[in-house]
Amino acid sequence: MSVPSRFASRSVLPDPAERLAPGRTALVVVDMQNDFCAPGGYIADALGKDVSGLAPIVLPIRALIAAARAGGIPVVWLAAFYEEELLPPSMIAQKRRLGIAATCCQRGSWGSDFFGVAPAEGEAVFAKHTYSGFSNPKLELHLAGRGIEALVFCGVQTNVCVESTLRDAHARGFDVAIVPDGVASHAPQLHEATLANVRFLFGDVVPSAELLALWAARDAAAA
C-alpha cells in the first residue's frame, strides 16, 4: 500500500499541538454501539465478557465531541454491521471456531444502536463489515475531500476495531492519536498493549483533558 500522493509534500510536524490542530484533524468515534458496550449486548451475552469498564468512556467522548463540534473539527463515526453474509471468510472462520451463533450488530437491531453518544445531523457515518473502518473506501474519500491529515481515535474495542483502523490510517499517511480515557476494551491487558504500541510506533497517546486544552488554546489563538 502506497501513501496517497496528497501527503507527498506535507511537512513533518514534531509537536502534537501542531499535528492535532483544528483545521487538519478529524475525531473518529469507533463502534460505540450497544452490542459492544451495553449489558445484554453481544460482547456481554454471546461472548460472556465483562463490559462494565466500557461505560466510563462515554463522558470523555461526549466532551471531545462537543469540543470538536464547537471548534469546527469534523466528527466521523464508524458503525459495525456483522451479519454473516457481509463478513469476510476469515471472520466467519474465527466466529465458528469460538462456537458463536449470535449475530453482532445486526442492522436495525437494538444491538446496532449507538451507545451513550450519537451522530448529529449531517455527520458522516461509515458502515463496516470487518474491523478496520478503512475497509469502507468511502471513509478515505470523505477525509481526503475535507483536507484531513490527522485522526484522533476514541471508542471501542481498543485492541480490535480502534487499533485496526488506526494502523490502517497510519499506513495511509495520516498522523494518528488515541485518547486513552476515551477508548476501552473488555480485555484491559490488551487495551494497555494497544496504547503501548501506539506510543512506541504509530502516534500520540493524548488524554482527553490534554486534547481539550490543546484545541481550546488553538481556538483562542485563532480568535
Supply the residues annotated as catalytic. Answer: 31, 128, 161
Sheet containing 75-80: which strands, arranged edge to edge?
125-128, 75-80, 25-30, 150-156, 175-184, 204-205
> Do residues 69 and 120 touch, judged by C-beta distance below 8 A?
yes
Please state, in angstroms and rounded to a whole number, the distance separating the CA atoms of residues 167 and 156: 15
> Residue with C-alpha cell 466500557?
54
Nearest Cα neighbor of 213 from 64, 95, 51, 94 is 64
> Do residues 155 and 53 touch, judged by C-beta distance below 8 A?
no
Q: How far is CA 9 from CA 6, 31, 61, 108, in A?
A: 7, 33, 33, 43
